[in-house]
């Protein structure tokens, strides 16, 4: 789980565009969305209830989910934290965000990230989401870690820069791999831009902390690019 000051420019006549020029396009988009919702109504990622990606009942269950007291350390990160154990309603919410196209879940899960972050004694200069490879991003249509990072950035006023780290190899999915295989799978998978991270304290944000292989590999790339310190923040942490 973030601007530059505006430049002083010569005064120019204000350009005015009639809102009516874009009204037909917006109307078509709204009608298409309405039709889609009628044919394929959204279902709650937690309980399957129709007409909501995340219902009020599941939200109350999420709010009642306790925060873990500690998370195992992970090299080479200076510190790492998570908002809950990867089970129950919070796991369902993460799965809905990650695989179910329930992008609105970035808001309640992002709130948990903000709450956890404020408990830490970390000084952060830049928030960076753990990136997806461009192929995976095209398939999914969005990076769930970026949605979470942008929410944390908005609430904390810390800049968020998704392009600071790229995933240069389309690695095999980590889900079916063991710990050692995950490490091998991610060797040299990430690359950070020195001009963006050098000398800074970086906060990496991801959805799940399982073995830590992804966060560790990403952090290593950031440190190799000159970052001073790297921290990690995830929505959930797996029981191993």
Taking the domains of the chain in order of start, what are their residue ranges?
67-237
Q: pTM for this structure?
A: 0.79
Confidence of residue 54 (pLDDT cuts 50, 70, 90): very high
DSSP 146-182: HHHHHHHHHHHT--B-GGGEEE-S-PPPSTT--HHHH
φ, ψ at 11 (rounded to 5°): -65, 130
Q: Over the stretch 72-90, which tens digit does the pLDDT of each residue have?
A: 999 999 999 999 999 999 9
Whether pLDDT at 24 is above 80: no
Q: Over the stretch 107-162, which tens digit does the pLDDT of each residue have?
A: 999 999 999 999 999 999 999 999 999 998 999 999 999 999 999 999 999 999 99
Residue among 196, 180, 187, 195 nearest 220 (CA): 187
Distance CA 195, CA 204 (A): 17
pLDDT of residue 19: 46
pLDDT of residue 239: 86
Whether pLDDT at 228 is above 70: yes
Tell me 19's DSSP state. G
Largest CA distance in the chain: 62
- Chain centre distance of CA 70: 21
CATH fold for domain 67-237: Rossmann fold (3.40.50)
Distance CA 111, CA 128 (A): 17
């Amino acid at each position: 789980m973030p601007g530059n000051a505006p430049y002083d420019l010569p005064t120019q006549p204000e350009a005015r565009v009639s809102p009516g020029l874009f009204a037909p396009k917006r109307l078509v988009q709204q009608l298409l969305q309405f039709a889609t919702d009628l044919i394929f109504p959204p279902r709650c990622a937690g309980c399957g209830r129709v007409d909501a990606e995340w219902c009020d009942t599941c939200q109350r269950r999420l709010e009642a989910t306790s925060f873990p007291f500690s998370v195992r350390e992970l090299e080479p990160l200076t510190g790492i934290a998570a908002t809950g154990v990867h089970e129950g309603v919070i796991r369902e919410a993460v799965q809905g965000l990650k695989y179910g196209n329930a992008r609105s879940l970035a808001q309640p899960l992002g709130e948990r990230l903000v709450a956890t972050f404020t408990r830490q004694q970390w000084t952060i200069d830049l928030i960076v989401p753990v990136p997806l490879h461009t192929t995976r991003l095209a398939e999914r249509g969005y990076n769930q870690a970026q949605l979470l990072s942008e929410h944390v950035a908005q609430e904390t006023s810390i800049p968020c820069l998704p392009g600071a780290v790229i995933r240069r190899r389309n690695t095999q999915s980590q889900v079916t791999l063991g710990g050692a295989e995950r490490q091998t799978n991610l060797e040299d998978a990430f690359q950070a831009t020195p001009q963006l991270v050098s000398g800074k304290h970086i906060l990496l944000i991801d959805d799940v902390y399982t073995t830590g292989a992804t966060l560790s590999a990403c952090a290593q790339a950031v440190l190799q690019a000159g970052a001073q310190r790297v921290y990690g923040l995830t929505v959930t942490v797996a029981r191993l």
